[in-house]
Structures are given as structure tokens and as C-alpha cells.
Structure 1
Amino acid sequence: MLPIGEMLRVLDVLDAAGCEVWVAGGWGIDVLVGRVTREHHDLDLLHRAEREPEVITTLESLGYAKRPGAVPGRPARFVMADGRGHELDLHPLHFAEDGSAMQHLDDRGGAFSYPAASFVTGTIEGVRVRCLSADRQIAFHQGYEPRERDLRDMAHLREAFGVTTHF
């Protein structure tokens, strides 16, 4: 599990190193709704692809190391873990001048797009955190059979923002 204290520690050290990241996934939803709603296995972080060497070096200073075998792997994402069982799922983004971004999924041109409005801030434990918007979170929860935690995550977004979700 990855507790809130570890999430905030990772974000604080990355921020101090000048590495701009955005929280997505389950922790991203918790940041949007402003409270911890469940236990989290990992922390999804989106980062600027051109800053990846600094992101990796900074995370290594915290005891994280690349974990081989993540599926899907590069170019979409890679995983870093520490010796305490904490995992970070890192997603490199290529930003355009207008603030939008693209995440390459494969070598055949597959990609996720992120409109500039996808990048927002939320607050948890009194800390402002960069994260993905509710709309983008909902978009990424489509096209698969939801797990119980996905159903709860979408329910939290509906409750907090009055949005419609597909499940």
C-alpha cells in the first residue's frame, strides 16, 4: 500500500527538485474530492517527458528504482518501487505550447490526448496538489470492466462534482 504520507513526501521532494508532476488514478480522485476514500496500491504520476531524467534521479534519491516488466511498458509508462512496497506508476507526457499534452502508448501511433483543461489542482490534508480533472479521470475509466474500487471512485466524482459517469 502507498499511504498519504508517502504520497505527499514524494510530491514534496519532486516539487523541491523542480519536477512538475500531476497525480492521476485513485490518488488523483482523492485529491479532487479532498479526502482519502480508500487504500491505494500505487501512485500514478504524470510528468513532462523532457524532465524524465530529473524525475528518475529525484525518485532514486528517495529509494525508488525502476521495476522491469510493467505491462504495458514504454513508451506509455514505467514503474518505480522502493524496498517498503511502495510503487509509482510514471506516465511521460509531451506538452504542446497551448498546454495540452500527448502520452504515446506504443510505437504504432497510439496515444492519449490531454486537453490543457485536464491539468488542475486539488487539495488533500490542506496541501494543494496538481492532478487530472474530473472529466479526464472519467475518460480514463472507460472501455473496460470496472473493478469495485473503480465503481466507488466514480461514485465519489459524481457526488463531489455532479458529473455523469458511464458506470
Structure 2
Amino acid sequence: MMMDAANALAVIRALETQGVEVWLGDGGWGVDALLGEQTRPHKDVDLILRVDQAEEAVQALRALGFAVAEGRLSSCFVLRDQEGRSVDVHPVVFDGEGNGNYTMENGEVWVYEAAWFGGAGILQGEPARCLTVQGQVACHTGYKLDDEDRRDMTALHDRFGVDLLPEQEFPVR
């Protein structure tokens, strides 16, 4: 089952209703929200939230039929419903400068820079907080990009004129 815009928005609103601060994460719906339209099918929705709100997030999404399927609440975790829709959560600890420190499964820490949390996207005509275009580009470095990643980066470049990094300059259309 794919995660369509209506379901992604329902997940976000359920979290916000419970006071959970949430941002669309890197790639997927985060890119499409910046573009203001769905550009491809999505199997999940990637979210960033505060690690100290992870338990509240799980409780809020339980009401929508989601349960933790893998991972740890202090690191990356995935919730799944009976339809097979997934929510991939990257919990962060904010430092004094507003950077979000995300501890990956391998123990390394990825830093979402404070400025990246200022993104404003649109899902089904409604506002959704997300990473900025610059944050999206930065999050797509340090690993071999697949065709979806390269399409996402190309779409951001084409729409916003953002400079891509050398390993990202292989447009797939």
C-alpha cells in the first residue's frame, strides 16, 4: 500500500493535534511538499520530530492504526498500519543553537542544521512544515543516490535553481 497525500497529511495532523512538533523529512513527501505537488508514488512518509516526543507520537498514531514495526524510539523507528502504510521517524535532540541531532542506527550522529527546519511545503493545498530546499540537498549527500533521489534533486534544482553537489549532478528525468 502506498502512502498517499491524504494519509500523509492525516498522520501529520494527528501528531500536531497531540502537540508533537513534526517536519516532513528528507526525500519523498518532503520534496513533493516543497514542490507543491506529488511527483511520484510514495511507500511511506518520512518525519522528523523531537526524541522527547517520540512516545506521544506513537500514541497519537496508534489512534490511526499504526504500531511500531521496527527500530527504537531513541533512534530511527518505523510505524506500520494493517494496510501496509509506513511512517519512518527520525527523532532528534535539539541543541542550544537549534540544530537537530539525529542518532542513526549505527550510532553516528547526523546534524540537521537549524536553518533547515524553516521549510514550508504544501500537501493537498494545506501547509506542512518540512526541511528547506537546502536541507533536502544536504541530506542527499554521502551516499550513492538511487534514481528516485536523483529525480528529487533534479526537480528541486529545476524549480528552485538550487545548486547540486557533484555527486548529485546526474539528472534523471
> Percent identity between the aligned chains?
36
Q: Could you say which residue in structure 2 is the equivalent of 1:115?
A: 113
Offset from partner CA, 1:6-51 (integer Å, 9 cap, x none)? 0011111111111111101210000111111100011101111111
- The separation in 1 between residues aligned to 2:100 and 2:14, in whole angstroms, is 24
Provide the residue aligned with 1:16 in structure 2.
17
The residue identity in structure 2 corresponding to 1:22 is W
> Could you say what secondary structure the match of 1:12 adopts?
helix
Q: What pairs up with 1:15-164 in 2 under 5 angstroms?
A: 15-24=16-25, 25-68=27-70, 75-105=74-104, 110-119=108-117, 120-164=119-163
How many angstroms does 1:105 deviate by?
Answer: 2.1
Deviations 1:40-80 (A, max 9, x none): 01110111111111111001111001113x5xx67430110
- Contact 1:32 / 1:134 at 8 angstroms: preserved in 2? yes
TM-score (norm 2): 0.87
**SS in structure 1 at match of 2:57:** helix
Distance of 2:50 and 2:146 partners within structure 1? 29
Show CA shifts across 1:90-120 (max 9, x none): 1110012332211112575x21112211102
User: 1:74 touches 1:106 (CA, 8 Å); kept in 2?
Assistant: no
- How far residue 126 of structure 1 moved from its aligned partner, in angstroms, is 1.7
The question of whether the paired residues in 1 share the 8 Å contact of 2:9 and 2:123 is answered with no
Task: Report the number of matched residues.
Answer: 163
Question: Post-superposition, which runs of at least 4 consecutive aligned residues in structure 1 deviate over 3 A?
Answer: 73-76
Matched AA of 1:121: A
Structure 1 Cα separation of the partners of residues 64 and 163 of structure 2: 39
Distance 1:163 1:97, change over 3 A: same
TM-score by length of 1: 0.90
- The alignment yields a C-alpha RMSD, in angstroms, of 1.6
| Residues 31 and 129, structure 1, Cα contact 8 Å, conserved in 2 | yes
Is this contact kept in 1: 2:103–2:110, CA < 8 A?
A: yes
Q: Distance in 2 between matches of 1:107 and 1:9?
A: 31
Structure 1 residues not aligned, in runs of 5+: none
